[in-house]
A and B are shown apart, each in its own frame.
Chain A
Amino acid sequence: MTKNTYIQIKVAKDFGVYPGARYRTDGPFSGQEFYEDILKPKFQKAWTDSQKIVFIDLDGTFGYASSFISEIFIRLVKDFEDKKAIIKKLEFKSEDEPLLKKSIIQIINEA
């Protein structure tokens, strides 16, 4: 059996502790910025390598606006289409708010 390798993203460290709104035009630290500059390039690598999984650590921020989260994961579904495969390629750490993981999965499924 082969072991999965993780591509890690820690939002608070790699991006910022005050995640912002939906679009870059709404201000800094937007969902669009996070998706285009951080998540998409890393997810692309994981998408083409069956052993790689993107691990997103959501802890350590001052909370997430739904616009930020929905922009990221709706764009992910738009670009990579296969919802089930996307969910399989993602893992989350959210000890600050455990139910956020369920909300993200719901957003992906409803996108």
Chain B
Amino acid sequence: MDFITNRIKYLYILLLLILGLVCGLFISDIPYLTFKRELSLGEIANFTLTLFIAIYIPFFLNKKINNKRIEKDILIQACDKINNELSELQKLIEPFYVSQKAITKDLSTIILLRTRRISNMLDRLINNTTQYKNNKAVKDITDTLVKNQTSYWSDLTLNVKDRRSKITQEVYLRTENNFKEYEGNISKLIMHINGA
């Protein structure tokens, strides 16, 4: 596929060159237009610069900008996935807080596995932001996010393995606050990645 795309690109350049020559020949026959036979250094420099810009912008600069945008979009998607996973986990525990039913062994295992999944999603996200390691704001937010993860895991799973454990109001409110803080810092990270 790349081979065909490259072929088309070169064919396009060749076509433009031929078109330019044909136009040149056509224009040279028009009596009102005259051409000087000598060129100044300034004109050569001007022509070279124009040619360089004409090639650099579409072929290199746009590609560079597109690649950076794709990288940013992937990181932002990873941030959104963490936020979604956090929301899902909150939705999972809400009925147990409202009904004050005891947490089953299965539910406690699901909570542990899901907090672990969020932790691993955050770990991957941090590893993928290494290109921003010189950006102090990104570094500060990722450090805070690790603390948010520890607090979230710590408060949510503090009693899940206890006998007849329940999602008490205290646990729910603490978890909800951690969730909001976590989510807020993820949003801050999205903004910094987008602006970087």
Contact = CB atoms under 8 A, between A and B. Distances in A.
Interface of A: 18-22, 26-27, 62-68, 70, 96-100, 102-103, 106
A98 B161 CA distance: 22
Given A26-B163, A66-B153, A99-B149, 5 more contacts: A65-B108, A65-B158, A98-B123, A99-B120, A99-B146
Contact of A62 (B109, B146, B149, B155): B109
B116 interface: yes
Nearest to A95: B120
B162 A21 contact: yes
Contact of B120 (A67, A98, A103): A98
Contact of B158 (A19, A66, A96, A99): A66
A102 B116 contact: no
B161 A65 contact: yes
A97 B119 contact: yes
B150 interface: yes
Nearest to A103: B150
Contacts of A103: 149-150, 153-154
Given A98-B120, A98-B123, A106-B150, A67 B162 contact: yes
Main secondary structure of the interface of B (DSSP, over half): helix
Interface string B110-151: 001101100110110000000000000000000000110110
B160 to A, nearest CB: 5
Given A102-B146, A103-B153, A63 B159 contact: no
A70 B155 CA distance: 11
Nearest to B146: A102
A65 B146 CA distance: 17
B113 A63 contact: yes
Nearest to A106: B150
B163 A65 contact: no
B158 A100 contact: no
Contacts of A66: 153-158
Contacts of A102: 146, 150
